[in-house]
Amino acid sequence: MTLYAAIERKVRASFARQGFMATLNAELVEVVQGRVTITAPITQAVSQQHGAGHAGLAFAIGDSAAGYAALTVIEGETDVMTAEMKINLLRPAIGAELRAEGKVIKAGRQLIVVQAEVFAGDKQVALMQGTMVRA
């Protein structure tokens, strides 16, 4: 097994253990080095009072996509956790599902700077930037 195949397997196994992602019916769509994509349906259970997807849904899948992107650049059994994350909500999340595309901006020895863009269809609804710490 190649190093990258082992890292992808680690990411997918970790995602499968996340109860919150299962609660949101989120799906890990793509895992490549330094990038991860997660989708989740916008249902009544995760909508806000105007019918759009709740910002909490956008934050949850964006944070996870960014965190798993960070995990793709770490070898071995080391894991990551969010140290801080900022979100800019750009427009209401109207559509059938949200798609979060997480990526690594810079990987340091202890801290990994990440970014996530969240989309409803082809419209960007949120931009996130944060720091992951090795755990």
- pLDDT score at 76: 80
Q: Is 107 helix (H, G, I), strand (E, B) or coil?
A: strand
pLDDT of 3 over the 80 cut: no
- Mean pLDDT calculated for residue range 18-47: 97
Residue type (1 letter), 120:
A
Task: State the Cα torsion 107-113-119-123 to the nearest 10°.
Answer: -110
- pLDDT score at 120: 98
CA–CA distance, 25 with 43 (Å, rounded to integer): 10
pLDDT of 71 over the 80 cut: yes
- Helices 3-16 and 55-71 pack at an angle, to 10 degrees, of 150
Domains contained in the chain, CATH given: 3-134 (3.10.129.10)
The secondary structure of 64-102 as a DSSP string is HHHHHHHHTT--TT--EEEEEEEEEE-S-B-SSEEEEEE
